[in-house]
Amino acid sequence: MDFKNHLKFGIFLALFSFFTINFSYILCSNFSLNFQQNLFIFSILSSLLILVGALSPDIDSHSAIPHKFVKNLIAIFVFSISFYFLWNQEIFHNIVQNLEYFIFIKFILTIIFSLLLMIIALLTFKILTPKHRGIMHSPIFGFTIALLLFFIIYGITKNFEISLSGIFFFAGFLLHLLCDGIL
Q: Which stretch binds Zn ion (CB under 5 A): 29-37, 53-61, 73-81, 96-104?
A: 53-61
- Is 58 among the residues that bind Zn ion (CB under 5 A)? yes
Q: How far is the CB of 180 from Zn ion (least distance, A)?
A: 4
- Is 31 among the residues that bind Zn ion (CB under 5 A)? no
Q: How far is the CB of 67 from Zn ion (least distance, A)?
A: 11
- Is 60 among the residues that bind Zn ion (CB under 5 A)? no
Q: How far is the CB of 137 from Zn ion (least distance, A)?
A: 6
Q: Which residues contact 78 (CB under 8 A, 6 or more apart)?
A: 114, 117, 118, 121, 122
End-to-end Cα distance, the chain: 13
Judged by CB, which is closer to Zn ion: 132, or 164?
132
Judged by CB, which is closer to Zn ion: 71, or 180?
180
C-alpha closest to that of 80 among 114, 48, 112: 114
C-alpha closest to that of 56 among 182, 174, 183: 174
Judged by CB, which is closer to Zn ion: 97, or 144?
144
Q: Which stretch binds Zn ion (CB under 5 A): 18-26, 50-58, 77-85, 94-102?
A: 50-58
| Region class of 89: left (phi > 0), else alpha (psi between -120 and 50), else beta | beta
Helices (H), the chain: 3-27, 33-55, 65-87, 90-96, 102-128, 139-157, 160-163, 168-179
Judged by CB, which is closer to Zn ion: 1, or 156?
1
Q: How far is the CB of 179 from Zn ion (least distance, A)?
A: 8
